[in-house]
A and B are shown apart, each in its own frame.
Chain A
Amino acid sequence: MAFNGPILLKRIPDEASQRKLIRYDDYVASGGYKAYNQALAMKPEDIINVVKDSGLRGRGGAGFPCGVKWTFLPKDIFPRYLAVNYDESEPCTFKDRYLCEYDPHVLLEGIAIAGIANRISASYIFIRGEYHTQAKILEEALKEAYEKGIFGKAYPGTDIVHHCYVHRGAGAYICGEETGLLEALEGKRGWPRIKPPFPAVAGAFAKPTIINNVETLACLPYIVENGAAAFKAMGTPTSSGPKLMGVSGHVNKPGVYEEELGIPMGKLIEKYAGGVKGKYKAAFHGGISMGVLGTNQYDAPLDFDIGKAFGVLGLGTACVTVMNESTDMVKVARNCVRFYAHESCGQCTPCREGSAWAYKMLNRICDGRGKAKDLDLLLEIGLAQGIMPGTTICGLADGTNWVIKTILQKFPEEFKAKIKAESVQGVDVTVGGVKV
């Protein structure tokens, strides 16, 4: 474990007043596009091998090994596309925005390298609809990159020309799901696709497509320049490299910070975010979809193995939202489920109906009209959804599932306290059959 200062954020000063947009010239002056030029001289399979060796895992949430994903592309089928997931609509998450708002070229360089490695014909940066300013910044940077010949040029020794486009979303959470993103990119309703076929075989416009998160691609210049070993030196054996971690909520100094994977959450909060305001109670460690860390899980290490060890879905985006003792966890649950009910695309029955049902029920509990039997039913509705039990096409419903499950199981007394006193008298309140 060795982390010596920021890598992705090296051009962005900590001090807010000193931050400014890094243009092409500043970027090159600080060592930018060196990795790109190096990559141009490399064989595509060598780049893929370096990325594979580096152990780089997807930064969007699921943590799928990036190099392995690339090898799923069928051989000799062209054109191939790259879809860059800049939708970043996970609540509590703002790392990609922060990075690209100031340093858009690190993403563009990453895209250019991924392009070389996979002989991509077109890269589509799918940017969240609400990111107006960021889209403008990105488009300007892209213009610069085109002028300097990063894009719009054939790869050496081939006639494949790499183009890059910024595609603005229309503001739906589900379009951050990779196949929902592809549908939206094609101009359709953002309904996640059923697999097979997988995007690597038939993705955007039915052509082989890679979908990578912004931060994943932004790691590529460092990996190509410094080699797999340097990248692997950071983090844990299963979760290598640095990670952008946005800290928000009840902390003294919210913001995006960079640390190596595996750092305990408490350390991150204290080292960078100025500690918790008040007394720590709970935290969303990677967007709300991963579930909540309980009061006794303050020091959970933020790496891809967090899921099994701490009763959450996974690492997610590693953007931590801290809640102190003033937080009403029932209302947190209601707010999260409201989000899922609102953002459910409406394709699969369990998610469409279940999320809205759970939201209505949580509303009733918050209003003090809850009943003793509600909690069991709420948990049952939650558990019935998601790709983990297999009842939905995409993972949106897993968010509903894990939010309900983790909050209900980690803070059952709070729910019990909200339920109408007379309905609890003489009756056991249970959660999943366990007495509260």
Chain B
Amino acid sequence: MPTMEIDGKKVSFEGKKMIMQVAQDNGIEIPAYCYHPGLSIVASCRICLGEIESPDPKDPTKLVRVPKLMPTCQTPAVDGMKVYTKSPKSRANQKAVMEFLLINHPLDCPVCDQAGECYLQDYSFKYGRGESRFEEDKAKNPKKDVGNHILLYADRCIMCTRCVRFTREVSGTSELAVFGRGHKEEIDIFPGKPVNNPLASNVIDLCPVGALLDKDFLFTQRVWFLKSSPSISPVSSQGENIYIHHNQGRIYRIKPRFNQGINKWWISDETRYGFEFVHAADRLRVPERLQFGSSTEISWDAAILHADEDLRGAVKAGGGLACILSPFDSTEEMFLQIKCVRSIDPQAWIAMTPVRIDGQDIVLKNPQTGAVTYTVKAEKAPNRKGAEKMMAHFGGNICTLGELHEKVKNKKVTAALLSSDPFPAAHVADYRQVLTGIQTLIRLGTRGGAVYERSTLSLPVCTWAEKSGVFENFEGRIQAFVQAIPPLDETRSAGSIFWELLGNNGPYDVRTVRGLMVAAGLNDYGNVAIPEGELKVEEMQFAAL
């Protein structure tokens, strides 16, 4: 395997790679603004320059020093090469570039959302000179509204063009472009063509400084107060890997988590902004039971007792049970839910709530190469696959919602344990139909609505951000997510309710449940870790702005 030396550290690499990639693979920091592993290389920020010694092609035992500084992002790594990014010459360039970038930068960090996660700040600290020698007037560029979610503070922009390349190479929509030239140039959109593509807000993450800002997050929280929890998208079957950024029980934003096989460095806007329901004002907070025609708040102990009694009572009275799974629950919860219902009525029918399909998959391509860069799945549920797997595992009486309707009509099914939330608006009518005539409806949900109004026992549950578990994406990848924030008020995770209904002692713990699942022959769940995504960088494309 070829080896090279970067800043005195011996590293090995494989294949055609740039020095920057080799450094990043080995945890060596070389400063960079314009370089991004997911975008083409433009080598224009010039802070990554280093001194290079390459083996002489005529006599490979000798090293030849390249007389000028070379961009490490654009220079291929060669066996035996030595790179110095901390040499006096490289340091001088880093200092100069930092100074150049800051002369027209407003330095308004105290009011900038990026402060705390800003490369200008970090690199100023590490590579800058600490004081400005610029005594002239700064060039001032305007602030612009460039999309439904995006603001552009052009005065803070350092022209790395990552955002421009993203819209050209990944989203393939080319909304952003560079206008003007020299120190007066700006990033902008074309008139009447805002950045509203399905991946639009990734440009905010790509921006190394505070130029592109999220309207949703604007001025809501200083980033250093945020805590980050790894999670999985709760809204799409793609299984996008995300980080939930939260503080004091509140989610402030969603950021992408790298996973080469699924979402790479990006996430879709529906995932990014799909967490509002967690903090919806109409979240259910307390268990309620229909007593004497009106719903009454009851305690959890009473609620669990009633649920158990109601289900057993229905079976005793000669009726049957139904277990309706939600594709928004974790697989562990589904496992427990079915187990729970089948333990009371072994002939219980299992069904799943309908999955919302929004038209067709949106396939985004790089217009230059034609390569597919991202797919936004039409299927809007994170765990349909998990539900299907659990249903197949338990087998027995399995039906669709339509078939269930028949059974309810024929009084074969009189009670249901329903995890229903959120359910697609398009299917509300179906639901109503199915659930009309059911005598006992124990419903787990986060928010009210038509189904809630029909339930005899309403159990408020928490959202995905408030619990742990696994989701299985459309292709069956099992991915774990962890609890980010504490459950709202008295809400509990669906899993903990089933856990208690099953008569278990002790707290509900997903690892214990996974142990049970493995014991039941579901070996896939034996070793589920938080997936960090395999970091395998593809061969770079040079190219064309």
Contact = CB atoms under 8 A, between A and B. Distances in A.
Contact of A349 (B41, B44, B68, B542): B44
B69 A390 contact: yes
B183 A388 contact: no
A353 B133 contact: no
A68 interface: no
Given A353-B104, A384-B96, A341 B545 contact: no
A377 B45 CA distance: 21
Contacts of B42: 194, 347
B68 A353 contact: no
Contact of B185 (A183, A188, A346, A348): A346
A172 interface: yes
B182 A341 contact: yes
Interface string A334-363: 000000011111111110111111001100
B182 A194 contact: no
B219 to A, nearest CB: 29
B68 A389 contact: yes
Main secondary structure of the interface of B (DSSP, over half): loop
A390 B185 contact: no
B387 interface: no
A348 B161 CA distance: 11
B44 A347 contact: yes
B182 A355 contact: yes
Main secondary structure of the interface of A (DSSP, over half): loop
Interface in A163-222: 172, 174, 183, 188-189, 191, 193-194, 196-197
Contact of A342 (B101, B139, B159, B182): B182
B185 A352 contact: yes
B109 to A, nearest CB: 19
Nearest to A191: B545
Interface string B81-107: 000000000000100110011011000
Interface size class of A (residues with CB under 8 A): 35 or more
Contacts, number: 104
Interface string B10-50: 00000000000000000000000000000001111111010
A364 interface: yes
Interface string B112-143: 00000000000000000000011111010000
B158 interface: yes
Contacts of A377: 133
Contacts of A62: none
Contacts of B542: 194, 196-197
Given A352-B183, A357-B134, A388-B68, A346 B104 contact: no
B158 A349 contact: yes
A168 B448 CA distance: 66
B100 A353 contact: yes
B58 interface: no
A388 B74 CA distance: 17
Given A364-B136, A393-B43, A353 B103 contact: yes
B104 A360 contact: no
A388 B93 CA distance: 13
Contacts of B544: 183, 188, 193
B70 A360 contact: no
Nearest to B182: A344
Contact of B46 (A193, A196, A350, A371): A350
Nearest to B33: A349
B545 A346 contact: no
Interface in A4-39: none
A191 B181 CA distance: 10
Interface of B: 41-47, 49, 68-71, 74, 93, 96-97, 100-101, 103-104, 133-137, 139, 158-159, 178, 180-183, 185, 542, 544-545
Closest 7 CB pairs of A and B: A390-B68, A390-B69, A353-B100, A360-B136, A356-B183, A346-B185, A344-B182
10 contacts: A194-B43, A343-B182, A345-B181, A345-B182, A346-B185, A349-B45, A349-B46, A349-B101, A387-B68, A391-B96
Given A347-B159, A357-B134, 20 more contacts: A194-B43, A194-B71, A197-B542, A345-B182, A346-B182, A347-B42, A348-B44, A353-B100, A353-B101, A356-B182, A357-B136, A364-B136, A384-B96, A387-B68, A389-B68, A389-B69, A390-B70, A391-B69, A391-B96, A392-B46
